[in-house]
Structure 1
């Protein structure tokens, strides 16, 4: 692009973007879904958690699969008085190998989630790895969608996990599919503290 074309092109772009911004006037709580086989679904959610706290809001986190309590994100966010954090999973399904125990853990995690979803003082709810509860039949998707739809009108929810069901994606306001280009684990590098947990 010629140098003299750049300002004209950016002015046209600005007009289009300004028009879109002006037409976006609704304010309401959003449902976000971070899915896909790539890294970063939970990390992105916890970035939004930091943003939420920066605005002085309260947040609740429920982890549906993770059972470890030594992650960097938990170590940091548990020290924040506006965050209520619950690690409620039994661990990776290939480790537990106990569907009934995993289902009971997911159902207990959903009971905690419903408490957050009923509380209008909780601005953001993160349901980390919730999608696995649908994949393995631990929770009923329609019941969960009904609870999500009944939450306080200004409450935001982020759901993470691979293989998000189509009905969940359809209900979402924003859905992101995180693709995998390359991962260090495939090259034999173990999970590194501060990066993977």
Structure 2
């Protein structure tokens, strides 16, 4: 009888071992990857390509249009910098961005970063904002003289609007005065009997 018990115990132990091996094999098979499962790779992200900026110079606060490819389709998807200083992006599409020149920007290259990919563009010249002409005075109706207000500065007046000299007034621009015009509509015009006597330099 004792011999029979030993044989039965041996058989049971062997059965348990076989069961454990069987469960382990099933577990491994259920976790293994099928050859038919699809393989998903992250798509390659191309760096932004800046082909042009307009204008190429301006004061802090001016809007600059970036033209190119591979831009983010939303403003928040793009990081625009002016010589390393981050700018605010007002609008965005895959081919065009409009950004604002930061207050503390300096002259240097512009760049756009999307999804960690950075593309550099041409250099942007930051003009001094202290000598910006007050466009609320865009009509000159009395005789006016523009002098060299800052001999140590390359630009004395930065014009971002259309200025009209009228009513028989005369605008005299003294020697040494350097004027820069920013924007398609900027300029100085004589009308209604007004006159301009320009001895300075226009850039």
**TM norm. shorter chain > 0.5:** no
TM-score range normalised by the length of the shorter chain = under 0.3
Larger Rg: 2
Q: Hey, which of these two has a bigger chunk of helix by percent?
A: 1
Q: Hey, which of these two has a bigger chunk of strand by percent?
A: 2
Q: How does the TM-score come out when normalised to structure 1?
A: 0.22
